[in-house]
Amino acid sequence: MALRFFNSLTRSKELFQPLVPGQAGLYTCGPTVYNYAHIGNFRTFVFEDLLRRALTFRGYRVTQVMNFTDVDDKTIRGSQAAGESLEVFTARYKQAFFEDLDTLRVQRAEVYPAATEHVGEMVELIRRLRERGHTYEDAGSVYFRLSTFPGYGRLANLNPEQMRSSGRVDNDEYEKEDVRDFALWKAWIPEDGPVFWETELGKGRPGWHIECSAMSMKYLGEQFDIHTGGVDNRFPHHENEIAQSCCATGGPFAGTWLHSEFLLVEGKKMSKSLGNFYTLRDLLEKGLDPVAIRYTLLSVHYRAQLNFSFEGIEASAQAVRRLRDLNGRLGRSPAGPGSGDKVWQLTAACETDFTEALDDDLNLAGALGHLFTWVREVNALLDSGSPDAGELERLQAWLNRVDSLLDVLREEQDESAEGRVAELVAQRAAAKQSRDFPAADRLRLEIESLGWVVKDTPQGPVFHRR
């Protein structure tokens, strides 16, 4: 286990050393659910999927938490414009987000806490900050006093010039280099309509930053391993999270911070405010293959900017086809006399080079270079018909292992796949009923190999896509 990450906090590559050996706690800032996420957002979420899968690939048990920002200015205004309650309005976009994650084959996090369901925890955290002298109140709102945290600005690398607070702000998303005391709790204003909580802090709602501190600590502990987001989250959002969390606990917060670069359109950040965005649904309507979109987002290093283009997606579609072709060939090829030690040698070399690149701050682009060299060599061996049964198995096993990261080999999910899995789930239930546990285990493995997961509940088994 030798993963190294570029830690935004120290601006250097560091060996990943989790708090508990073999386990990784991961907090990934989630979507603001006032609209469909655009594929710039999905670049960040697919990067986090790669991170999660790379940790698993290297043997870690991952606990990932991703929040839903379901109360802020944008969600409140959006719900008012739609004439819906905040709950109904945001529920639609939460649901759409999960559908899009499935389309892009992003693995589910362990927990998706919603801000509106954790206001109690946020109030508690603000109370701790108040007790330690880090807050002040004005007109019913509670602000964080930046001057009480000397470590402020470390993550965003602000220089001392920039470090003088220029007042205070109620807006959650202020400009870079504009250092301000920020709102932890916002007093109710008539524009918020029915959206408020009556708490010991008064009538109002939480600020944006406090939600991630409260929910990460609740599910991962006061100190945890990795915190991620897009580069625009680094300041002020993550800087503020660190200030609040460290001041509330008196100890450290997340050890490693990873930030993914922007997806660009014609040289500009893809964003809702610039109007230069595509949602995933826009692209599917144009007939693009979601697996090629996934591959495109994965194939450029996460700390490099990625220019969105239709040509880029077509190139990815070709790469996916080459991998699927090889997969199909391995399944169909008859066993030959054996390649000597060629299969073992070139596969072991690919494994070493691929894993080294991945370990080096998730350099999947480099790793894919090694993979495609291997694909070429394997195709040549298959042309000559030499690999024997054991060698074919070895090749297939490595391709499957790589696909545990990429998840591109499965062909489009069709209805018949679901029917087949339902059948296997029923057979497994029958095997368990007759206490044939080895058969039940085998069936579970078969279900998982098709990309599905089965879980037993008091109401009987349920199954869903991985």
The footprint of ligand AMP (CB under 6 A) covers 29, 31-32, 40-41, 43-44, 229-230, 232-233, 262-263, 269-271
**Residue number with CB closer to ligand AMP (278 or 354):** 278
**Residue number with CB closer to ligand AMP (271 or 299):** 271
179 sits near Zn ion (criterion: CB under 5 A): no
The terminus-to-terminus CA distance of the chain in angstroms comes to 24
**Residue number with CB closer to Zn ion (206 or 387):** 206
**C-alpha distances out from residue 83 to 79, 192, 204, Å:** 6, 13, 21
Burial 188-216 (b: 16+ CB within 10 A, else e): beeebeebbbebebbebbbbbbbbbbbbb
Shortest Cβ 95–Zn ion spacing (Å): 21
Which entry of ligand AMP, Zn ion, none binds 212, CB below 5 to 8 A by partner kind? Zn ion
CB 335 within 8 A of CB 388: yes
29 sits near Zn ion (criterion: CB under 5 A): yes
Count of residues near Zn ion by CB under 5 A: 2
Compute the distance between CA of residue 71 and CA of residue 76 in angstroms, rounded to an integer.
Answer: 7
- Lookup: tokens for 259: 């930030």
Shortest Cβ 239–Zn ion spacing (Å): 11
Compute the distance between CA of residue 100 and CA of residue 83 in angstroms, rounded to an integer.
Answer: 25
Shortest Cβ 231–Zn ion spacing (Å): 13
Shortest Cβ 2–ligand AMP spacing (Å): 27
Q: Look at residue 194 and give its three-state secondary structure.
A: coil
122 sits near Zn ion (criterion: CB under 5 A): no
Name the nearest CA neighbour of 44 among 303, 310, 336, 405: 303
**Residue number with CB closer to Zn ion (65 or 270):** 65
User: Which of 115, 210, 212, 346 forms a contact with Zn ion (CB under 5 A)?
Assistant: 212
CB 82 within 8 A of CB 89: yes
- Residue whose CB is nearest to ligand AMP in the complex, by number: 230
| Cis status, amide bond into 150, omega within 30 of 0 | no
Which entry of Zn ion, ligand AMP, none binds 232, CB below 5 to 8 A by partner kind? ligand AMP
Shortest Cβ 47–ligand AMP spacing (Å): 8
Shortest Cβ 26–Zn ion spacing (Å): 13
Interface residues toward Zn ion, by CB under 5 A = 29, 212
